[in-house]
Amino acid sequence: MKSRILAILIAVLVLGLLAAIAMYSNLAIYISIIAIGLALALQKYVASYFGYFIIVFSNMLHVGDRIRIGAYKGDVRHIGIFYLTLDEVGEDEKLGGELTGKILHIPNLIVLDQPVLNFSKGCIKDHKVMQCDYIFDEIRIPISLDSDIKKAARLLEDIINAEDEQYLVKSKEAFADNYPTFLREAETNRRVLIHIEPDKIWLKGKFVTPYRLRNELRTTMYLKFLEHIGKDTGICLT
- pLDDT of 6-16, one tens digit each? 555 565 566 56
| pTM reported for the whole predicted model | 0.60
Predicted pLDDT at 100: 79
208 or 160: whose pLDDT is higher?
Answer: 160
Predicted pLDDT at 160: 92
**Element of type H or E holding 66:** strand 66-69
Residue 185 gets the label, from left (phi > 0), alpha (psi -120 to 50) or beta, of: alpha
CB 99 within 8 A of CB 88: yes
Q: How far is CA 3 from the centre of its chain?
A: 25
Per-residue pLDDT, averaged over 153-165, amounts to: 91
CB 115 within 8 A of CB 70: yes
Q: At what angle do helices 27-58 and 2-21 cross, to 10 degrees?
A: 160
Predicted pLDDT at 31: 57
* Range scoring the smallest mean pLDDT among 40-49, 153-162, 177-186: 177-186
Asked whether the predicted pLDDT for residue 82 surpasses 80, the reply is yes
Predicted pLDDT at 33: 57
Rounded to whole angstroms, how far apart are CA atoms 222 and 137? 14
CB 66 within 8 A of CB 74: yes
Predicted pLDDT at 12: 57
Asked whether the predicted pLDDT for residue 130 surpasses 60, the reply is no
User: Could you tell me where in the chain the CATH 3.30.70.100 domains are found?
Assistant: 129-229
Indicate the CATH number of 1-121 among 2.30.30.60, 2.60.40.1890, 3.40.50.720, 3.50.50.60.
Answer: 2.30.30.60
Per-residue pLDDT, averaged over 37-55, amounts to: 73
Phi, psi of 85, rounded to the nearest 5 degrees: -110, 125
Among 174, 50, 79, which Cα is nearest to 123's? 174
Predicted pLDDT at 162: 92
Asked whether the predicted pLDDT for residue 55 surpasses 90, the reply is no
Rounded to whole angstroms, how far apart are CA atoms 82 and 50? 9
Asked whether the predicted pLDDT for residue 61 surpasses 70, the reply is yes
Task: List pLDDT tens digits, range 176-189.
Answer: 666 566 666 666 67
Predicted pLDDT at 153: 92
User: Could you tell me where in the chain the CATH 2.30.30.60 domains are found?
Assistant: 1-121
Phi, psi of 132, rounded to the nearest 5 degrees: -140, 115
Predicted pLDDT at 224: 92
Rounded to whole angstroms, how far apart are CA atoms 56 and 59? 6
Asked whether the predicted pLDDT for residue 221 surpasses 90, the reply is yes
CB 108 within 8 A of CB 49: yes
Topology (CATH) of 129-229: Alpha-Beta Plaits (3.30.70)
Residue 237 DSSP class:
B
Reported as half-sphere exposure (CB side, CA atoms, 13 A), residue 136 has a value of 17
